[in-house]
Structure 1
Amino acid sequence: MHALVATVVHHPEDARILHRQIRALLDAGHTVTYVAPFRECGVTPWDELRSIDVPRASGRERMASLRAARAVLAEHAPRADLLLFHDPELLLALPSRRPVTVWDVHEDTAAALLTKPWVPRPLRRPLGLVVRSFERRAERRMKLLLAEEGYRSRFRRQHPVVPNTTEVPERPAREPGDDRVVYLGHVSMARGARELVELGRTLRPHGVRLDVIGGADARVRPLLREAQQADDLHWYGFVPNDRALRMCAGATAGISMLHDTPNYRHSMPTKVVEYMAHGLPVVTTANPMAEALVTGRPEGHAGRVVPFGDVRAAADAVLELRGDEDLRRSMARTGHEIAQTSFHWPVQARLFVKQLEEWVAEASGPVPVVPRPRPRPQVVERDGEHTRPTREISS
């Protein structure tokens, strides 16, 4: 089948969109046209897919991007078998003529609005109610995929879940070392930007460097630049997921300092799974899903859980791991085992592709059975009478 995949909000090299879902479609033999903000993000698309550039939607500057996306989708959607889009904003840009349409629900958008700095505070809750109404309308008009089991309660119908798992190597590239910790993922205030800066400053006198790998919100970038100039951390900016994971290998621990916000309470932080998959002990705040994964599994503990906002506790956990090689290696092995057993993406990839194929097949309907034409009987004249010859039954 031919899949049209679209995003105007996410980076074109988003791990879930490109490295997992599009890769899975290509590996299954399907063709993909990818609509994304390539030029604005400085990305060169893969040769294996057709790419269409659109402006990126960010902050309050979204209308130009949506107008461009509407034109592109109106042109290309009728020629595709499937339209898979990743942003709630694109609900406003869908063409009337389109194939099987699937919204991949990445987050709890209404809850996320409560922490978006570009949304005026008095409008956050009212806009959340508008988003909920759009969600109810969407599930009546299209197919939905959910990134988390915890998103099911937002919808009235049952929808398949494609969790944010990751490619788990047979064995980690390196054992965890003792001189640096890493943060992987987008950086925002709600994801612990201030805590990361303070953590880097606290660890530096102990000879432990904090590497921050990921893009950042506009209001956070000056904070990270100042911390880098002060040598409190090393900020790499956005790095494609496959390369970013290689950079993480060998760190003492992977850090997650998420705040206690509604959007994160029922979400599994993908970075935690990725740390474990690549042999890093985890130091995370007490997000319920992360805590259950890191310290609540029968296989054992894969790291340490610290209170929300408690940088001192996070630093103490890192220093404990730095000073105890056996402990960090044991936690790294446990985390890798859990990830390999329960969060290996290829298993989900097959289910993801199969679900899309089934939806397209359902929309196409059953293959019509064309009846074989009955031979027209010939009239044979015999002795002045008309008779019909016996018809042969051919195979």
Structure 2
Amino acid sequence: MPGLRVLVCTVVHHPQDARILHRQIRAMLDAGHSVTYAAPFSAYATTAWPELTAVDLPRALGRHRSDALREARRVLRTHGADADVVLLHDPELLLVLPGLDLPGAVVWDVHEDTGAALVAKSWLPGAVRPLARAGVRMVEGWAERNLRLILAEPGYRSRFRRIHPVVPNTTYVPDSVEPSGRDRVVYVGHLSVARGVDVMLETARRLAGSGLEIDVVGHADSYSRRALVRAQQDGFLRWHGYVPNDRALALVDGAMCGLSLLRDLPNYRHSMPTKVLEYMARGVPVVSTPLPAAVSLIQVNKCGLVVPFDDAEATVTGILRLRDDTELRASMAKRGHAAALTGYHWPQTAREFLMRLEAWAHAARPHQCITLGSL
């Protein structure tokens, strides 16, 4: 099959988002497909890979989304007309589709439970959230009737009537890893109250004087940014800011443990925290809150410790236990890496992802009719 022309679009995610760029787009490029990537490059002060055709979009942030959506509709009309596949990564983009003539396969990659995630949106007034949640479900129903869907989590299936393929957030797993050390704690991922930044900061404060270093890597919302800057000034941790996924994971190598302190919120209860898999992939024990998918993975593979939600004291206790028990730390690291290599290596997932896109693109193409006597 000749290479596909794919238009990938987001107005919400960082252009170097691990799922979008480092996994999906990388897989498409490696398969010989050409990719046009429309994303908020300027808003995030980043540039595109040279092998991509880049289109800069405004960023949709908080209540300020109309400009980004208006420009995204223009880009979809202009570039989508020639695309075999249009791959959308934001539910907001569903709102701009009606009236557009997109002859290729239009695919929505469902990253999260959007309706449940509204609970954590501080910019959305509480009284409006039930109405917004109902609106989200209506839009999701329209998308299911009119688009192709892929889901990032099996737990999202219950929101839809039909069966849709799951393309999970697996990661790149190296064949060998550095031994887990005993003097450095890491966190990789977005930083917000919902993702446990307050507990992490209190944990860092309590660990001051323990000899442990704490590396925090990721984009932060405005509240978390201010708190992280203060904590860094006080010497409690090092905040690296946003770092591209490949470089961020290199900072995990050799760490004593990796933190995943997500709070008990509806959007997270059906999801596997990707950072748990990323720590396992680099041979680093996990310290995680008891979200069901994380608990199952950690307990089955014996690759980390589970601590209560919103509990800095228990988190500190778990970290110090791993520091002081070399044998436990090494065995958890080894088992986690082995499990990730066997079942969570992205190239294995990428094959299914590419097969789906290629099949949908083929189905969307007009087929010539062969009539009797035409040969």
Q: TM-score range by the shorter chain?
A: over 0.9
Shift of 1:219: 2.0
Corresponding position of 1:103: 108
Q: 1:314-329, aligned counterparts within 5 Å?
A: 314-329=315-330
- For residue 168 of structure 1, what is the amino acid of its counterpart? V
Corresponding position of 2:370: 369
Shift of 1:169: 0.5
The 3 A distance-change label for structure 1 pair 367 and 197 is: same
Query: Pick from 180, 186, 189: which aligns with 1:185?
Result: 189
Corresponding position of 1:146: 151
Shift of 1:369: 3.3
1:241 aligns with 2:233: no
Larger RCO (CA under 8 A, 6+ residues apart): 2
C-alpha separation in 1, matches of 2:309 and 2:346: 29
TM-score by length of 2: 0.96
TM-score by length of 1: 0.92
C-alpha separation in 1, matches of 2:100 and 2:223: 38
Percent of matched pairs sharing the same residue: 53
- Could you say what the CA RMSD is over the residues aligned between the two structures, in angstroms? 1.2
- For residue 145 of structure 1, what is the amino acid of its counterpart? I
Q: 1:1-395, aligned counterparts within 5 Å?
A: 1-94=4-97, 96-98=100-102, 99-172=104-177, 174-295=178-299, 297=300, 300-366=301-367, 368-369=369-370
Note the alpha carbon deviations across 1:200-235, whole angstroms, 9 max, x for none. Answer: 111122111221100011222111111111111111
- For residue 307 of structure 2, what is the amino acid of its counterpart? V
C-alpha separation in 1, matches of 2:25 and 2:45: 19
Note the alpha carbon deviations across 1:330-369, whole angstroms, 9 max, x for none. Answer: 1000000111111110011010000010011112255543
C-alpha separation in 1, matches of 2:344 and 2:239: 28
Note the alpha carbon deviations across 1:118-160, whole angstroms, 9 max, x for none. Answer: 1111111221111011101110010000000000000011100
C-alpha separation in 2, matches of 1:319 and 1:222: 27
Note the alpha carbon deviations across 1:148-201, whole angstroms, 9 max, x for none. Answer: 0000000011100000000111011x1111111011100110100100100111
Unaligned 5+ runs, structure 2 = none
The SS at the match of 1:3 is strand
Note the alpha carbon deviations across 1:284-335, whole angstroms, 9 max, x for none. Answer: 000110000011x1xx410000111111111111111111212111100000
The SS at the match of 1:211 is strand
Q: Which is further off, 226-235 or 345-354?
A: 226-235
Runs of 4+, deviation exceeding 2 Å: 365-374
- For residue 286 of structure 1, what is the amino acid of its counterpart? P
Q: How many residue pairs get matched?
A: 370
Note the alpha carbon deviations across 1:1-49, whole angstroms, 9 max, x for none. Answer: 1000000000000000000000111111110000001111111211111
- For residue 30 of structure 1, what is the amino acid of its counterpart? H
In the alignment, is the contact (CA less than 8 A) between 1:114 and 1:125 conserved in 2? no
- For residue 354 of structure 1, what is the amino acid of its counterpart? M
C-alpha separation in 1, matches of 2:227 and 2:130: 28
The SS at the match of 2:328 is helix
- For residue 83 of structure 1, what is the amino acid of its counterpart? V
Q: Which is further off, 322-331 or 16-25?
A: 322-331
- For residue 167 of structure 2, what is the amino acid of its counterpart? V
